[in-house]
Chain A
Amino acid sequence: MIKIEGLHKSYPIGKDSLHVLKGLDLHIKEGEFVSIMGSSGSGKSTLLNIVGLLDTHDEGNYFLNGQLIQNLNEKKAAVLRNKFLGFVFQSFNLISYKTALENVALPLYYKGMGRKERLKIAQEYLEKVELGPWANHLPNELSGGQKQRVAIARALVTNPKVILADEPTGALDSKTTDSVMDLLKGINDEGMTVFVITHEEDVAEQTNRIVRLKDGVIISDEYTKAGKLKTVK
C-alpha cells in the first residue's frame, strides 16, 4: 500500500539545510496497523506529511497504492488525498463553526457528492463511532475523546485506503486514549491500513508493527505481540 525507497528530505534553515530524513525504506502492506515511534525531531512528522502528500520529498521513491508519487501539483495532491487518505490529527482540526455531522461530511463535499447523500453517509459514520446523537453539536460542545472520534469518522467517510493518524491520542487522557485506540483497532480489523505516529509507548504497543525512528533513520522495525498473533492467523 505504502512503499518508500531511499527517502530523503531536508529543510533549508537560513543558508544551511536541515537533513531530516536520511534515506528511509519502508513497506506497509494493505491492512497493516503500523506505528511510527520516535522522539521529537526524529523526523516522524515529516514522514507522515510526505506520506500524506502534504509535503514533497527530495530524493527516493514513494509509491502510494502502487502509484509513483512525483511531480504532484497541488490539485493532483488534493484529489489523491481525498481519494486515498484519511487524516486524524492531534488537535482534531475540526472546523469550529460546523456541526459534527457537517465536519464528517466535508471530505465528501470536496469529492463532489450531493448534500443529502453525503449527510446520510456522514450520519452512518457518526453512528459507527457511536456519536449518532451528537450529530448536530458543534465541536466545542464535545469532549476531547468525542472530537477525536468525529475526526476519525471524518477520516473514514471517503472510504480511503490509508488512515494517517498524527499523535491521535496526544491531547487525550488515558481512558479516552484507550477508546480511541480501540476504535482504530476496530477499523484495522475491518481491513483498513492504519498508520499512527506517536511517542507514547503504550499506544504503539496496541498496534501490530512498530517502526522506530531516530535522527532521520529507522533504527528498528518489528511486529508487536498482537501483530505476531495476527500474522500467524
Chain B
Amino acid sequence: MFKFLFDSDTWQEIYGGIRKNKTRTIITIIGVLWGIFLLVVLLGAARGMENNFKNLFGDFATNSVFMWAQRTDKPFKGFQEGRRIRLTTKDIEVLKSEFKDIKYLAPRSQTSTNIINGFKTGEFSISGDYPVLDKVQKKDLIYGRFINENDITNKSKVIVIEETAYKQLFEKNEFPIGQYVIADNINYKVVGVYKRGNIGIDGDAAYIPFTTFQQIYNRGNYIDWMMVTGDTGVDIKQLESDIKLTLKNLHKVDPEDNRAFGSFNLAVQINKVTGFLTGMQFLTWFVGIATLIAGVFAIGNILLITVKERTKEIGIRRALGATPIEIRQQVVLESVFLTTVAGMLGIVFGGLILFLIDTTLGSGPDPTLLNPTVNIPIILFAFFILVVLGTLIGLIPAYMATLVKPIEALREE
C-alpha cells in the first residue's frame, strides 16, 4: 500500500506541484515553521530559566526548613504568656531520635565580631557549626577544608573564612591555610577559605566548630536556631509542624501557641517559584501547540484554495486516467511533505536561535538563561504531532479534490 511512497515518480509529481505554487509553498512553510520555531524557542527559554534557577539553589538542600524559638503568646501549665523560649542541644538530640526522616539537622549559634590579622581587620559574623552544614549547603572551598568531626570533639580553635574576609585580611595570593587570625582575643588557625554561593543564608560568615563556639561565647546548651533537611520525598511542611509540636511539648508550650517557634520553610518558597516555572512550561506548550495547530490549519486552508485553483489540472489528470485515490494521495503527500519540511526548518531555526541565546544571554558569571535546551524526544514528539496533523488536514482538500467531477473540472471557462 505504501509502495507509492518510495516511488520516485510520486515525488516527481509532488515536486512539480510544489514548485508550481511557489507563493503557496512559501506561505505554508512559514506558517508551520513559525509554529514549531516558537515551540522550540519557548521551550528552550523556559528550560534555560529553570536551569538558571536550579543552579541558583544548586548547592543547597532545598528540602529544608529553618527554625528558631521566640516568646510564647499563650499562658500554659502555670507559665505566663510572653515567656522566652530557647532551643537547646538537648532538643536536637530528641528530634534526631524522634524523627527518622530527618536527613540533616544542623544546630547553629551565631554572633558577630572583629577578626584581626596583624594590622588588617574586619567585622564579620561568626558561626558555630557542625560538619553537617557542608551537606545542607555545599561550601565551595578555594583553600583547605571545612570543619570536621575532630574539630568538634577537640573543640579546636580553627576557622573557615569567606573569600571576602580572605581578601580583606590577607595579602593578595597569600596562602592562608595554617595562618592565625584573632577574634575576641582568641587565636584561630585558618583551615579553609570558601566562596559564597548564589544563596548565602549566612552572608559572609566565618565558621568555627560548634563546640568551640559554645564554650568561647559561653552559650552552654543554648542554640540560636537550626536547619532541618528532610529525606528526599518527605513532606517538609508536615515535618515542620510535627517538629514544632514536639518542641512545644518539650518546652511546655501550648500546642495552639503560634508565636513560640518561628520557621522559614525553604522548600515551600522554592515550590512557589517551581510552580511558576511549571506554569511557564505549560504556557509554553499551550502557546507553541496552538501556534502549531494554527500553522497546520493554514496549510490546510491554502491547500484547499490551491486545490480549487488546480481543479482543472486535477480534471485533466483524471481524464488521463488518474484514479481518485491517486489524486488524494498526491494532495495528502503534498501536505505532509510541506509540514515536514517546514517542521524541520522550524526546528533548525529554533535551534539556531537557542544557540544564539546561549552564546549571548547564557554566558558570563550571571546568565539570564542557563543552557537553554530542548529535549530531543520532545522535539520528535512535536514533529510527529505535526506530521499527523499535516496528514489529517491534508485529507480535507484531498477529499475536496476528488469531489469535483472531472467533467466539471474540465468545463471551459
Q: Do A and B bind each other?
A: yes
Interface positions of A (Cβ within 8 A of B): 49, 52, 54-55, 74-75, 78-79, 81-83, 87, 89-91, 93-98, 102, 106-107, 109-111, 115, 154, 158
Contacts of A115 in B (CB 8 A): 8-9, 12
Stretch from B70-78, B300-308, B370-378, B404-412 that touches the partner? B404-412
Which of B313, B319, B322 has most A Cβ within 10 Å?
B319
Taking the nearest CB of chain A, how far is it from the CB of B121, in angstroms? 87
Say whether, besides A90-B412, A96-B20, A110 and B325 are in contact (CB < 8 Å).
no
CB atoms of A106 and B407 under 8 A apart: no
CB atoms of B321 and A82 under 8 A apart: yes
- In the complex, A97→B24 CA distance in Å? 15
Interface string of B280-307 (1 = CB under 8 A from A): 0000000000000000000000000000
Given contact pairs A49-B407, A74-B402, A115-B9, a sample of 14 additional A-B residue pairs in the complex whose CB atoms are under 8 Å apart = A54-B319, A54-B405, A75-B323, A89-B410, A90-B412, A95-B313, A97-B20, A106-B317, A107-B320, A107-B321, A109-B9, A111-B321, A115-B8, A154-B320
Contacts of A95 in B (CB 8 A): 313, 316-317
CB atoms of A55 and B407 under 8 A apart: yes
Taking the nearest CB of chain A, how far is it from the CB of B298, in angstroms? 23
Contacts of A90 in B (CB 8 A): 412
Which of B20, B316, B326, B405 has most A Cβ within 10 Å?
B316
Q: How many A-B residue pairs have CB under 8 A?
A: 68
Taking the nearest CB of chain B, how far is it from the CB of A159, in angstroms? 13
Show 25 residue pairs from A and B whose CB-CB distance is below 8 angstroms, ordered by the A residue.
Answer: A52-B319, A54-B319, A54-B406, A54-B407, A54-B410, A55-B405, A74-B323, A75-B323, A75-B325, A81-B318, A82-B321, A87-B320, A89-B410, A93-B312, A95-B313, A95-B317, A98-B16, A106-B317, A107-B320, A109-B9, A110-B317, A110-B320, A110-B323, A115-B12, A158-B321
- In the complex, A54→B313 CA distance in Å? 15
Q: In chain B, what residue has the closest Cβ to A73? A: B324
Contacts of B322 in A (CB 8 A): 78, 110
Contacts of B312 in A (CB 8 A): 93
CB atoms of B19 and A97 under 8 A apart: yes
Contacts of B325 in A (CB 8 A): 75
Taking the nearest CB of chain B, how far is it from the CB of A52, in angstroms? 7
Contacts of A98 in B (CB 8 A): 16
CB atoms of B412 and A81 under 8 A apart: no
Task: Report the 7 A-B pairs with minimum CB-CB distance, sorted nearest first.
Answer: A82-B321, A97-B20, A110-B321, A54-B407, A78-B323, A107-B320, A75-B323
Contacts of A87 in B (CB 8 A): 319-320
Taking the nearest CB of chain A, how far is it from the CB of B335, in angstroms? 19
Interface residues of B in 362-408 (CB under 8 A from A): 402, 405-407
Contacts of A79 in B (CB 8 A): 321, 323
Contacts of B317 in A (CB 8 A): 95, 106, 110
CB atoms of B320 and A81 under 8 A apart: yes
Contacts of A82 in B (CB 8 A): 320-321
- In the complex, A52→B318 CA distance in Å? 11
Taking the nearest CB of chain A, how far is it from the CB of B307, in angstroms? 15
Q: In chain B, what residue has the closest Cβ to A160? A: B321
Contacts of B410 in A (CB 8 A): 54, 89, 93
- In the complex, A81→B324 CA distance in Å? 13
Interface string of B1-18 (1 = CB under 8 A from A): 000000011001100100
CB atoms of B16 and A97 under 8 A apart: yes
Q: In chain A, what residue has the closest Cβ to B13? A: A109
Contacts of A55 in B (CB 8 A): 405, 407
CB atoms of A93 and B323 under 8 A apart: no
- In the complex, A109→B322 CA distance in Å? 9
- In the complex, A59→B14 CA distance in Å? 40
- In the complex, A74→B315 CA distance in Å? 12
Contacts of A97 in B (CB 8 A): 16, 19-20
Contacts of A49 in B (CB 8 A): 407
- In the complex, A94→B20 CA distance in Å? 14
Q: In chain A, what residue has the closest Cβ to B320? A: A107
Taking the nearest CB of chain A, how far is it from the CB of B329, in angstroms? 12
Q: In chain B, what residue has the closest Cβ to A92? A: B316
- In the complex, A78→B318 CA distance in Å? 6
CB atoms of B324 and A75 under 8 A apart: yes
Contacts of A102 in B (CB 8 A): 16
Taking the nearest CB of chain B, how far is it from the CB of A231, in angstroms? 31
- In the complex, A87→B109 CA distance in Å? 99
Taking the nearest CB of chain A, how far is it from the CB of B138, in angstroms? 67
- In the complex, A96→B13 CA distance in Å? 13
- In the complex, A82→B323 CA distance in Å? 10
- In the complex, A197→B402 CA distance in Å? 27
Interface residues of B in 307-343 (CB under 8 A from A): 312-313, 315-326
Taking the nearest CB of chain B, how far is it from the CB of A50, in angstroms? 9
- In the complex, A95→B17 CA distance in Å? 10
Contacts of B8 in A (CB 8 A): 115
- In the complex, A230→B77 CA distance in Å? 133
Contacts of A111 in B (CB 8 A): 321
The 8 Å CB contact of A81, one of B12, B313, B319, is B319
- In the complex, A90→B324 CA distance in Å? 24
CB atoms of B321 and A93 under 8 A apart: no
Q: In chain A, what residue has the closest Cβ to B407? A: A54
Contacts of B19 in A (CB 8 A): 97
Q: In chain B, what residue has the closest Cβ to A46? A: B407
